[in-house]
Chain A
Amino acid sequence: MSGTMNLLIGLAMGLSLLALASSRLPSVIRAAAFQGMILGTLPLLLEEKFHWLVVAVAIGTITVKGFIIPNLLRRALRAANIDREVEPLIGFVPSLLLGAAAIIAAAALGSALPLLPEHAKTLLVPGSFATVVCGFILLMARTKAISQVCGYLILENGIYLFGLLLINSTPLLVEAGILLDLTVAVFVIGIIVDRIQREFDTLDTRKLTSLRE
């Protein structure tokens, strides 16, 4: 059981690195979506016995993260009529290296933390740290609003992964609430992206500095 789970989490970490290394915005969105779908299946693996609530959570997560949010983002992309991150603040190779360093550091941190024995065997904790840090790197390194939304999604995936540690004690309502928040946030960002595009004729968030006061 934990072998399959570790495989999936490793895949998710690889997708984070893919998002960091890719300059084309559609592939960044795709990486974030796949990561969301992979992580959505994890609850099914974690629970020993079948429970319809867990299935509902998994299906909901996969639907929202794998289809609804990516579609919203693709629509914003079409409206803004761009598909490349041209001038990142941190280049693609350096961000990839940073991401790799983050994974190593997360593994080191995970082995240093005093975890429960059933969690110590899995990659849950290192994977969640690595995904959060990769999300942060994406947020900091990119200038286009869409890439930052993807960074935000990956960041949220990391938090979700960490939340799986507590899946037995987290009510369904909280999970549903988080998903709803995420959807609304992406929805709002999609609108904002459209507005930024119309107002400044670019999606470069550096142009927003005149709004600071």
Chain B
Amino acid sequence: MTTGWLLLMAGMGLAAGILSAFKSPRVWLVVTLCGAVAAFSAAVCMLASGVVWDWQPGFVIGGEALHLQLDGISAFFLVLLSVLGGAGTLYSSEYWSDKAHPDSAPSGRAWWNALLLNMGFVLLCANGLHFLIAWEIFTVCAYFLITRERQRPEARAAGWLYLAASHVAMIFLFAFFALLAARTGSWELGPMRERTELAPLFWLALVGFGIKAGIFPLHIWLPSAHANAPSHVSAIMSGMAIKMGIYGIVRFTGWLPTPDSAGWVVATLGVISAVLGVAFALGQHDLKRLLAYHSVENIGIILIGLGFAMIAASHGNAAWGQLALAGALLHVWNHGLFKALLFLGAGSVLHATGTREMSRLGGLWRAMPWTASLFALGATAIAGLPPLNGFVSEWLVYLGLFDAVSAHGHAAFAAILAAVALGITGALALACFVKVCGVVFLGLPRSRVAEHVHECGWRMRLPMLVLGAACVAIGLAPILFWPAIAAAATAWQPALANANALPTVPLVTLGAFHLALVALVILAAVFLWRRVQHNGVSRAGTWDCGYAAPTPRMQYTAGSFSGIITGWFDWILRPQRHAHLPRAMFPAHADFEEHTSETVLEKVVEPAGSFVMRISAAARRLQHGRVQSYILYLVLGLVALAILAVMGGSK
């Protein structure tokens, strides 16, 4: 029962954090970190021992008996939650300090702990009603965290959009859980794969959890919320909160039967999210908004793996499906780690410069070597380059897709398309992060804000180091993390446990290859370093095409760097360009401005919303306050009822 005690400690630590958040930031920091460590230990205990922790104490909350359960899938997500929660806690103690934000910091700490606590509850709940309650509380906590800077109108707007989208999702989840409870006769959740009549409920769950996960057409709330939240909140939102949507989909595709087409739909949504997510990311000029769109992309990669795993599961558990599932699950961890790292890095940049506009930054690596190198590490990982963790999980998904192709099954053709789309996504993500690193950290400062910057302190640096180290560890020794993935995969599909078909060999080879690659890189670096020491370095100006007076503003901008690629996606990005081009021999004034629209929000959701508003405004004219007409409504209603009764009576 060590798991239970550790979970109790974690819960008490977080609860004590809520109490101490207002009075004593130090106590808050210590107890919250202890809570995170305890939750981490509990999850690792479960994953290592494989013993499912199941607790039914007999308390009744809201008319339902409390039932907590920590199985492979819960523990897998709880590891990520505790790592990101701990990292974000330490980071926020410097980033959102009492000194800089006397009004919003104390309550922010309390909301933060409440968020972590309720996300943990969602992972543990095995009762539909309590799941919904914890889900709603965590959603609301995230709203208060996103709107920490509520004096800014765009933060308020982002918060409203998030709240509205979350509640649309909540309606679908209410419908899902209520119908599930109505058909099974109990709110208790658990494996019920044999009850095939429950399969259509999957679509409700997909929409409800999909909005939270930020699947492409449902992602409308995600960019603005991630961009306007404080960076540690963006990190937990992108790293963990949207993974709660993935958790929901994984959990209920594991417990409940799914329709036959579910896997295809999930994989298709995955491909769309991956490609369009990265395309939108390329069009962004705001550092955090760009990272937010990469979340859409990575959710897409996870869904491709999960979708093919579902296709395989509905057709006799082919081995390639298990590879794809392993890739998807590992990518949940990986994306959580490197995206949190990148958001924390972006937070350091924002903290130092006060702007998220990439076109005002530049040359930051000189002043911020730690942030720059850790951000570059995260960028390498998210672009899916070896030897880091992003490559490991994407490679597993690729392996699954390739095996599906060579198995010549019904999914072969789809797997080819998905693999191609995944390849395009990887290439575009690489281009995007070359753009980010190049524009933000290399070159010369483009504006005054980028000139006088400072490196962040150790409390912001340490979390980034921990996350970076985790990225490297998964990259170099993926086999160490295999048992965790296997535990989650068997919890998803118990048939996998005795099939024992989960392949382990490729990971050892991959780890060895990554180690060799790192050794080679180190060797090359040492060799170059010695050459440099030996020959000395001479500095010279960049070749400037003969132009006599170059300024830093003539550097490539984020928009010009990605201009060609975003041009391919003009049909969906719909960029708005305002240009006054230089004319005549001595041009006086010229400017150029480009802005990528939120296509889904502006072209679909807003017109639909204003249509509904017009209808409602027209219906509202019936409510005008004239008693005489209200009586007329009454008479008409009575007459209609009478006619109905007479017609019914005549039958």
- Chain A residues with CB under 8 Å of chain B are 89, 136, 139-143, 148, 205-206, 208-212
Least distance between B643 CB and chain A CB atoms (Å): 12
* A209–B628 CB distance below 8 A: no
Quick check: is B532 within 8 A (CB to CB) of the other chain?
Answer: no
Q: Count how many chain B residues have C-beta atoms less than 8 Å from C-beta atoms of the other chain.
A: 10
* A148–B623 CB distance below 8 A: no
- A to B CB contacts below 8 Å, 29 in the list: A89-B628, A136-B631, A136-B635, A139-B627, A139-B628, A139-B631, A140-B628, A140-B629, A140-B631, A140-B632, A140-B635, A141-B628, A142-B628, A143-B628, A148-B627, A205-B626, A205-B627, A205-B628, A206-B626, A208-B625, A208-B627, A209-B624, A209-B625, A209-B626, A210-B625, A211-B625, A212-B623, A212-B624, A212-B625
CA distance in complex: A206, B626 (Å): 6
CA distance in complex: A206, B628 (Å): 9
Tell me which of B624, B625, B627, B628 has the highest count of chain A C-beta atoms within 10 A of its own C-beta: B628
CA distance in complex: A211, B230 (Å): 44
CA distance in complex: A89, B631 (Å): 13
Task: Note all chain B residues with C-beta closer than 8 A to A211.
Answer: 625
CA distance in complex: A33, B628 (Å): 22
B642's nearest neighbour on chain A, judged by CB, is: A109
Task: Note all chain B residues with C-beta closer than 8 A to A210.
Answer: 625
Task: Note all chain A residues with C-beta closer than 8 A to B627.
Answer: 139, 148, 205, 208
Least distance between A157 CB and chain B CB atoms (Å): 17
Residues of B contacting A: mostly: helix
Task: Note all chain B residues with C-beta closer than 8 A to A89.
Answer: 628
B632's nearest neighbour on chain A, judged by CB, is: A140
B623's nearest neighbour on chain A, judged by CB, is: A212
Task: Note all chain B residues with C-beta closer than 8 A to A206.
Answer: 626
Interface residues of B in 612-650 (CB under 8 A from A): 623-629, 631-632, 635
Task: Note all chain A residues with C-beta closer than 8 A to B625.
Answer: 208-212
CA distance in complex: A103, B626 (Å): 27
A114's nearest neighbour on chain B, judged by CB, is: B649
A208's nearest neighbour on chain B, judged by CB, is: B625
Least distance between B39 CB and chain A CB atoms (Å): 49
Least distance between A82 CB and chain B CB atoms (Å): 18
Task: Note all chain A residues with C-beta closer than 8 A to B623.
Answer: 212
Least distance between B627 CB and chain A CB atoms (Å): 5
CA distance in complex: A148, B628 (Å): 9
Least distance between A27 CB and chain B CB atoms (Å): 21
A151's nearest neighbour on chain B, judged by CB, is: B631
Least distance between A1 CB and chain B CB atoms (Å): 31
Least distance between A169 CB and chain B CB atoms (Å): 22
Task: Note all chain B residues with C-beta closer than 8 A to A208.
Answer: 625, 627
Task: Note all chain B residues with C-beta closer than 8 A to A140.
Answer: 628-629, 631-632, 635
CA distance in complex: A142, B631 (Å): 12
CA distance in complex: A148, B631 (Å): 11
Least distance between B334 CB and chain A CB atoms (Å): 53
CA distance in complex: A139, B631 (Å): 7
Task: Note all chain A residues with C-beta closer than 8 A to B635.
Answer: 136, 140
CA distance in complex: A133, B72 (Å): 71
A90's nearest neighbour on chain B, judged by CB, is: B628
B628's nearest neighbour on chain A, judged by CB, is: A140
- The 8 lowest CB-CB distance pairs between A and B, nearest first, are A212-B625, A209-B625, A140-B628, A139-B631, A140-B631, A205-B627, A140-B632, A136-B635
Task: Note all chain A residues with C-beta closer than 8 A to B626.
Answer: 205-206, 209
CA distance in complex: A52, B286 (Å): 91
Task: Note all chain A residues with C-beta closer than 8 A to B624.
Answer: 209, 212
The digit string for B80-97, where 1 denotes a CB below 8 A from any CB of A, is 000000000000000000
CA distance in complex: A140, B626 (Å): 10
Least distance between B536 CB and chain A CB atoms (Å): 81
CA distance in complex: A136, B638 (Å): 12
Task: Note all chain B residues with C-beta closer than 8 A to A143.
Answer: 628
Task: Note all chain A residues with C-beta closer than 8 A to B628.
Answer: 89, 139-143, 205
Task: Note all chain B residues with C-beta closer than 8 A to A209.
Answer: 624-626
CA distance in complex: A148, B627 (Å): 10
Least distance between A213 CB and chain B CB atoms (Å): 8
Least distance between B506 CB and chain A CB atoms (Å): 67
Least distance between A128 CB and chain B CB atoms (Å): 14
CA distance in complex: A93, B635 (Å): 21
Least distance between B89 CB and chain A CB atoms (Å): 46
B646's nearest neighbour on chain A, judged by CB, is: A112
Least distance between B3 CB and chain A CB atoms (Å): 55
CA distance in complex: A185, B155 (Å): 53
CA distance in complex: A209, B622 (Å): 12
CA distance in complex: A28, B623 (Å): 29
CA distance in complex: A128, B303 (Å): 69
CA distance in complex: A212, B626 (Å): 8
B649's nearest neighbour on chain A, judged by CB, is: A114
15 extra interface residue pairs, beta carbon distance < 8 Å, beyond A143-B628, A205-B626, A209-B625: A89-B628, A136-B631, A139-B627, A139-B628, A140-B628, A140-B632, A140-B635, A141-B628, A142-B628, A148-B627, A205-B627, A206-B626, A209-B624, A210-B625, A212-B625
Task: Note all chain A residues with C-beta closer than 8 A to B631.
Answer: 136, 139-140
CA distance in complex: A5, B635 (Å): 28
Least distance between A95 CB and chain B CB atoms (Å): 12
Task: Note all chain B residues with C-beta closer than 8 A to A139.
Answer: 627-628, 631
